[in-house]
């Protein structure tokens, strides 16, 4: 069995790292070159480029919407809390009139009593069906 000394092992690791960095760099260059085929496609011969029925490229580039432009400040002020409450009440009254509801009275409704379930033997109520 052949053992290498510490320096020989470090030199071989450095050589392997150097080779790996060259291969990784070439791969990165090849990958980035493939990301921008636009100018290359423009320089292809006519018989190799676009198919016969393809539309012509526009003479001016498309204009994109200005997504970072902020809208101008509002000319009106927002409603106050009192105005919002008044408007909500008016809308509720209009809804009640359209649906034919009676105006809500000041009386509270009588509390209702709950009925206990009929059959709670297996944890199911009478209306529930057992899952087969």
Q: Give the alpha-carbon dihedral of 37, 42, 48, 50, to 10 degrees.
A: 100
Residue 29 to residue 23: CA distance in whole angstroms: 10
Q: Which residue has the higher pLDDT, 124 or 92?
A: 92
Cα gap 49→42, rounded to integer Å = 8
- Whether 115 is in a domain gets the answer no
- For the cut 80, the answer to whether the pLDDT of residue 93 exceeds it is yes
Report the domain count for the chain.
1
Degrees to nearest 5, angle at CA 29 with 27 and 32: 105
Tell whether the model's pLDDT for residue 59 goes beyond 90. Answer: no
Put simply, whether the predicted model's pTM sits higher than 0.85 gets the answer no
Does 12 reside within a domain? yes
Q: How confident is the model at residue 30 (pLDDT cuts 50, 70, 90)?
A: confident
CA angle 63, 69, 72 (to 5 degrees): 130
Match 């033997």 to its residue by tokens: 121
Question: What value does the mean pLDDT of the chain take?
Answer: 77
Q: Which domain holds residue 15?
A: 8-50
* Residue 40 counted as domain residue: yes
For residues 103 and 77, the model is more confident at 77
126 part of a folded domain? no
Give a yes or no: residue 13 inside a domain: yes
Query: Are 4 and 12 spatial neighbours (Cβ–Cβ below 8 Å)?
Result: yes
Whether 24 maps to a domain, the answer reads yes
Top-confidence residue, 84 or 71: 84
């Amino acid at each position: 069995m052949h053992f290498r000394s510490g320096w020989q092992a470090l030199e071989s690791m450095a050589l392997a790292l150097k080779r790996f960095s060259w291969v990784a760099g070439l791969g990165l260059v090849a990958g980035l070159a493939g990301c921008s085929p636009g100018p290359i496609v423009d320089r292809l011969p006519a018989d190799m480029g676009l198919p016969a029925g393809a539309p012509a490229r526009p003479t001016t580039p498309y204009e994109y919407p200005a997504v970072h432009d902020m809208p101008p400040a509002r000319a009106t002020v927002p409603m106050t809390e009192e105005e919002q409450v008044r408007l909500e009440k008016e809308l509720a009254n209009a809804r009640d009139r359209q649906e034919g509801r009676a105006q809500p009275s000041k009386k509270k409704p009588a509390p209702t009593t709950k009925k206990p379930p009929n059959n709670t033997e297996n944890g199911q109520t009478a209306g529930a069906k057992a899952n087969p």
